Amino acid sequence: MRKGLVAALVVLALGAGSGHARAQSDADTLKGIEKYREALADDNPADLWEARGAELWAARRGPKSSSLAQCDLGKGPGVVKGAYAELPRYFADADRVMDLETRLLHCMVALQGFSAAEATRRTFGNGGSRSDFEALSAFVAAQSKGAKMNVSLEHPKERAAYLLGEQMFFYRGGPHDFACATCHGESNKRIRLQDLPNLTDAKDAQRAYTAWPAYRVSQGELRTMQWRLNDCFRQQRFPQLKFASDTSIALTVFLAHNANGGVFSAPTVKR
Amino acid sequence: METIVEFDRERRDLLKAALGAAALAAAGFMRPGAAVAQGAWNKNAFASKTLDEVVKAYGGARAEPTSEISWGSTPEIAENGAVVPVSVTSRIANTESIAILIEKNPNALAARFQFPEGTDPTVSTRVKIGQSSNVHALIKTKDGKFYVATREVKVTLGGCGG
Amino acid sequence: MADPMRIRASMQGDKVLVRVLMSHEMETGQRKDESGSVVPAHFIQSVSAVHNGKTVLSAEWGPAVSKNPFLQFQFAGGKLGDKIQIIWTDNKGDTRTDEATVS
């Protein structure tokens, strides 16, 4: 069923037709799309989120009227440079593996005194209504530009998270019997004109993971990995993926570790 | 509001740019009538449906086709019509303004730029294109003449539509 | 008060190259929200750039300019250290002015 479904999607994308002429127009189209992507790469609207994130990081907020400047993202309190490329990771003070957004939530609660409910009132922004997580993620991610992905699995909980993430990646469920692997487990597949990275292949995984967070043109917003996974679950018709849940973190560990060695380039701009 | 569906079969079988009304609305197109502020904003120009109407709104009769324009990094195909980069450089002497029009948008005029002495007649911006369409660069020179260059930009939808 | 623009002004030969990213919804007035009500039009209508008290660019925009607009242009007669102001006004009368130094 699932191979058939993928095949059907591929046929839908490629349409009827055969031979060299189609291969040539494929190549032209892809070149055209590349040109479109390049034209958007400079002057990325994500810069606006990054600027806001820098302000949020430094601003005194919450009941404790404190900034996030002492937040430990894994490389020491307040060290932002290079932190994203090593996340997710185990944090002893929470006895838990955390991705960036979960760690930011932790700091908002621990340092600034917000309740978890208050802090997560808006996790994904929408038009007039903003998400601090998106702005802070853009800021923190930008400070890892150029760094090589280096997610460790030394701690037993990190290893357990990776294995759970891997299990989730291949887990078929929902009314369409989809797994992440259905779309992302084979090479050279696409849906319409969107190439699907094979997230079990090192090169594809590196290219895919190091491009998030990203300004999604179709969303008109800066989107993060928590959003990306949440939206994949939606497209698979899975139950909603909870923000900062163990599942979301486990999947992120799986994807991020598979991308180790890749040069981080986010925030990028995507369709 | 009409449903606009476009299938590009003529050149590329592969390309299926199908935009329903919902997608068109999501890309964002307005009918005139929204509140507008006063000032140098040419209400008639922005309510015009066609190139000719825009030319008239700026006091001209017609625009002469020209190829004395370069399109810079303007792509021929956009992955998402909500953000399409358009770059126009006019090589026509005494260029005073450059306007960008999207033929198939509900209102053709997207933006108009005026260049005082000392500023190069070149501009880059990003526009919404609801469906594959001709894009016009409308030039006005200091002596009041109008010229137009045209280029097609295809718009596609990627992925699962999300 | 709207979010600040991101303005980059640099010397490219003897010209000043200016690149601006603005934070604005550029709502067309055509979209409907979750409850089915039309989201009112809200878009930047006019933009101007000023250098040494002189306007170096003026623009009229409609709602077909993309959300979080981008603008790039270049002019002669500027030098390192000069200030450039960008001003936008939208259809609701909101306005924003930001300044950058040519570097």
For the segment C24-42, the average pLDDT, to the nearest whole number, is 92
C35, part of any domain: no
By mean pLDDT, which of A27-31, A112-116, A227-231, A265-269 is the weakest?
A27-31
Averaged over C1-11, what is the pLDDT? 93
What pLDDT, on the 0 to 100 scale, is given for residue B2?
39
Peptide bond into A88 cis (omega under 30): yes
The DSSP letter of residue A187 is S
Q: How confident is the model at residue C58 (pLDDT cuts 50, 70, 90)?
A: very high
ipTM: 0.96
User: B139 to each of A176, B146, B150, how far by Cα in Å?
Assistant: 53, 6, 11
Asked whether residue A162 falls in the same domain as residue A183, the answer is yes
Distance CA(A77)–CA(A90), nearest Å, equals 15
- Chains B & C: contacts with CB separation below 8 Å: 137
pLDDT digit string, tens, across residues B35-73: 333 347 999 999 999 999 999 999 999 999 999 999 999
**Which tokens go with A266?**
């986010």
Residues A132 and A257 in one domain: yes
Q: Which residues of C touch B45 (CB under 8 A)?
A: 60
- Tokens 């009827």 -> residue: A16
Q: Averaged over C77-102, what is the pLDDT? A: 97
Higher pLDDT, A265 or A29: A265
Supply the angle between the helices A202-209 and A246-258 in degrees, to the nearest 10: 120
Average pLDDT over residues A34-49: 92
Say if residue B3's pLDDT is above 80. Answer: no
SS (H, E, C) A73-101: CCCCECCCCCCHHHCCEEECCCCEEECHH
Tokens 């005139």 locate to B32
In A, which residues are within 8 Å of B74 by CB distance? 39
pLDDT for A110 beyond 50? yes
Residue C72 maps to a domain:
yes
Is C58 part of any domain? yes
Number of other residues whose CB lies within 10 A of the CB of residue A29: 18
Rounded Cα distance between A225 and A252, Å, is 8
Task: Give the CA-trace dihedral at A176, A180, A185, A191, to 10 degrees.
Answer: 60
Count CA within 13 A, CB hemisphere, residue A152.
12
Same structural domain for residues A246 and A218? Answer: yes
- The dihedrals phi and psi of B138, each to the nearest 5 degrees, come to -105, 120
pLDDT tens per residue across span A51-98 = 999 999 999 999 999 999 999 999 999 999 999 999 999 999 999 999
pLDDT confidence of A30, banded at 50, 70, 90?
Answer: confident
Confidence of residue A193 (pLDDT cuts 50, 70, 90): confident
Asked if residue A165 has pLDDT above 70, the reply is yes
**Averaged confidence pLDDT in chain A:** 92
Query: Distance between CA A174 and CA A171 in Å, rounded?
Result: 10
Interchain CB contact of C70 with A (< 8 Å): yes
* Burial profile B44-60: b = 16 or more Cβ within 10 angstroms, e = fewer: ebbbbeebebbbbbbee
Tokens representing A23 are 């291969």
What distance in Å separates the CA atoms of residue A260 and residue A209, rounded to the nearest whole number?
Answer: 9
% of chain A surpassing 90 pLDDT = 81
- Do A58 and A152 lie in one domain? The reply is yes
Do A210 and A242 fall within a single domain? yes
Whether residue C55 lies within 8 A of chain A, CB to CB, comes out as: no
The overall average pLDDT reported for chain C is 96
Structurally, how many domains does chain A consist of?
Answer: 2
pLDDT at B157 over 80: no
Q: For residue C34, tell me if it sits in a domain.
A: no
How far apart (Å, rounded) are the C-alpha atoms in residues A40 and B63?
30
Per CB-CB distance under 8 Å, the chain C contacts of B114 are 57-59
Q: Where are the beta strands (DSSP E) in chain C?
A: 6-12, 15-21, 44-51, 54-61, 70-76, 83-90, 95-101
Same domain assignment for residues A10 and A76: no
CB-based contact C60:C79 (threshold 8 Å): no
Residue B14 has pLDDT above 50, yes or no: no
> What residues make up the domain containing A265?
46-270
pLDDT at B18: 38
Token pair, residue C72, equals 């790039």
Judgement on whether residues A54 and A16 belong to the same structural domain of the protein: no
**Count of the separate structural domains present in chain C:** 1
In chain A, the percentage of residues whose pLDDT exceeds 70 is 92
Question: Residue A3: its pLDDT value, please?
Answer: 53
Considering chain C, what percentage of its residues have pLDDT values greater than 90?
92
Q: Name residue, tokens 């309510």.
A: B47
Residues from B contacting C (CB-CB < 8 Å) are 25-26, 28-31, 34-37, 39-42, 45-46, 82-85, 87, 102, 105-107, 109-116, 118-120, 122-128
Q: Which of A28-32, A36-40, B77-81, C9-13 has the weakest average pLDDT?
A: A28-32
pLDDT at B119: 98
Regarding whether A158 and A194 lie in a shared domain, the answer is yes
- Give yes or no: residues A75 and A35 share one domain: no
Q: Which residues of A are catalytic?
A: 232
In the predicted model, is pLDDT for residue C102 greater than 60? yes
- How far apart are the C-alpha atoms of C1 and A246, rounded to whole Å? 38
Kindly state the average pLDDT of the residues A192-198.
88
Helices (H), chain C: none
Residue A132 has pLDDT above 80, yes or no: yes
> Whole domain around residue C25: which residue ranges?
6-29+40-101
Per DSSP, the three-state class of A210 is coil
Does residue C1 sit within a domain?
no
> Quick one: DSSP state of residue A242?
P
Nearest-CA neighbor of A224 among A252, A188, A247? A252
Banded model confidence at residue A28, pLDDT cuts 50, 70, 90: confident
Are B36 and C45 in contact (CB < 8 Å)?
yes
Q: Which residue has the higher pLDDT, A271 or C87?
A: C87
CB proximity list for A1: less than 8 A, separation 6 or greater: A177
One domain, residues A10 and A112: no
Instruction: Assess whether A118 and A6 both reside in one domain.
Output: no
Q: Are strands B146-155 and B77-78 parallel, antiparallel or unpaired?
A: parallel
Residue B30 has pLDDT above 80, yes or no: no
Residue A53 and residue A38 in one domain: no
CA–CA distance, C25 with B143 (Å, rounded to integer): 36
Tell me what pLDDT residue B69 has: 96
pLDDT for position C28: 94
Whether the per-residue pLDDT at C5 is higher than 70: the answer is: yes
Q: Residues C6, A61, A216, B103: what is their CA dihedral angle, to the nearest 10 degrees?
A: -50
